Structure 1
Amino acid sequence: MSIYQHFRQEEHDFIDQVLEWKDTVIEQYASKLTDFLDPREQEIVKSVVGNHEDVKLAFHGGAEGAERKRALLYPPYLEPTAEDFQLKAYNLSYPEKFVKIEHRQVLGSLMGIGLKRSKFGDIYFHDSSIQIVLSAEVSAFVEMQLQEVGKVKVSLNELPLEEITSTVTSWEEASTTAASLRLDVMIASIYNLSRQKAQLLIGGKKVKINWKLVEQTAFECQEGDILSVRGFGRSKLLTVDGKTKKDKWRIIVGKQK
């Protein structure tokens, strides 16, 4: 039975990459550290590596409850430590009395200095500070290049990883019905919008499924998918429970609090 049949077509390239990592560990008997993976990619790595006796697997994202994490595939003789994940944490200071910085601005500024999204982890917002987790190999570059966010001057101070405080995601469950599992129909049902509005959001590049931008209104959603709609928050398809007498799908959805 092929491992590919459990995954969407667009995930097959990533599966090939994971199979390569796995083979490298087996052949070279050495560990392989990945970039930051989103939760969907982490699930794929777990499925592909499975319970292989020659390849062990661990994840670390800098803090308990981190969403984005690096994976370490390693031979059984190794005992991985936090250092093996090569993470660095920083506090982003700025004059918070006078300005407010938003998550998308920090994200945009990090990408704007030429950093790939896979090179940094979660961004945490607290009352008077912003904390970010980076791959150690890009930390010196970021220290030098990241001097402002939006138009606001910022400074980076390194933090011990233990001082990163993550925010735990909790989901509020609700049930809904939908005529189909198409993305535009699902967004309309979950967020109580017209289907036309849902289509505009998808066309406007404001919708992600499992952390990837999706622009097809007819994209077929599946149980377990995480939908993120800019301006409306994040939700998760917890269960798709078969059909009602009126031929609609019964869906239990979790909305992020």
Structure 2
Amino acid sequence: MDSGSEKIIEAKIRDIFNIAIKNGEKRAGNFLDPAEQQIAEAVARNFPGAGYYFEGGHGEAERKVLVAFPEYLKDEPFFVPIRAIRVTPRDPDEHPGHRDYLGAVLGLGISRDKVGDIIVTKTGADIIVKEEVAEYIGLNLSRVGNVPVAVEEISLKEVAAVERSYKEIKGTVASLRLDAIASLAFGISRSKMAPYIKGENVRLNFKTVKDPSAEVKEGDVISAARLGRARVVEIGGSSKKGRIYVTVHKYTG
């Protein structure tokens, strides 16, 4: 995310807080990715007397909406305007992927910030969306790519559990630099990974990083364009040669 995009997000989040405080109400925005949620948390510190939380529709949600409110409304009930729809290929032998479902929804003219998580299952996908677009998707989404689909609205409680499959990768690195860890995770030489990072193709904890020497910590998430996503699950001790033991989970589904 470049500085211009960050400023736009900051302005939108400030508007949510300002309107909530001015009107004395709880107010929800559109979906934010994890990096945008970090921006929201930073903006929130400029609003003493205001509270906030994030809601994504299910326990493992990555994309979430911000709900802001005056602190005195903290315990007031609030219906977060998000819905869940289930998309099922009519041919059970067809299995579209995450990009296929996302592309089909955006192809209806719906902006990305109206769409939350997409949980792909063996039989289709459950998609979290803002309330105002749920009915429109239900009426107009008939295909995902070339695959005919059926669409129904479900309750948020019915959303499928997230099942993250991964490949465990263990190895040693010379340092905890981003290029070294990413090289291990994605099976690319460090000499090739460094310029890949400089080309703004890699995100660390959902923020684009251009510095190959950026430090990586246990628990960090590395995303690389066209290569996938991995989490650093363990940083161990050092070998006799001074290399650091690292365990990474590279997500495969």
Deviation at 1:93, TM superposition (A): 1.6
Cα distance in structure 1, aligned partners of 2:63 and 2:174: 31
Q: Please, what is the CA RMSD of the aligned residues?
A: 4.0
| Secondary structure in 2 matching 1:77 | helix
Matched, 1:97 2:87: no
TM-score, normalised with respect to structure 1: 0.73
| Secondary structure in 1 matching 2:71 | coil
Match of 2:116 in 1: 121
Deviation at 1:62, TM superposition (A): 1.2
Q: Provide Cα deviations, 1:48-67, integer angstroms capped at 9, x if missing partner.
A: 32496521112211111211
Match of 2:173 in 1: 177
Match of 1:75 in 2: 70
Match of 1:138 in 2: 133
Match of 2:249 in 1: 255
| Secondary structure in 2 matching 1:154 | strand
Match of 2:39 in 1: 44
1:171-250 equivalent positions in 2, closer than 5 A: 176-177=172-173, 181=177, 184-195=179-190, 197-198=192-193, 207-211=202-206, 220=214, 223=217, 226-229=221-224, 232-236=227-231
Deviation at 1:71, TM superposition (A): 1.2
Q: Name the % identity.
A: 26
Match of 1:151 in 2: 146
Cα distance in structure 2, aligned partners of 1:202 and 1:31: 40
| Secondary structure in 2 matching 1:92 | strand
Q: Aligned pair in 2 of structure 1 residues 53, 203: CA closer, same or farther (>3 Å)?
A: closer
5+ unaligned residues in a row in structure 1: which ranges? 1-7
Cα pair 2:202 2:209 within 8 Å, conserved? yes
Cα distance in structure 2, aligned partners of 1:169 and 1:112: 26
Q: Provide Cα deviations, 1:129-155, integer angstroms capped at 9, x if missing partner.
A: 311111011123222332211101112
Cα pair 1:179 1:247 within 8 Å, conserved? no
Amino acid at match of 1:74: F
Q: Aligned pair in 2 of structure 1 residues 120, 222: CA closer, same or farther (>3 Å)?
A: same
Amino acid at match of 1:54: G
Cα distance in structure 2, aligned partners of 1:112 and 1:157: 18
Cα distance in structure 2, aligned partners of 1:255 and 1:191: 10
5+ unaligned residues in a row in structure 2: which ranges? none
Deviation at 1:165, TM superposition (A): 2.2
TM-score, normalised with respect to structure 2: 0.74
Amino acid at match of 2:109: G
Cα distance in structure 1, aligned partners of 2:4 and 2:248: 25
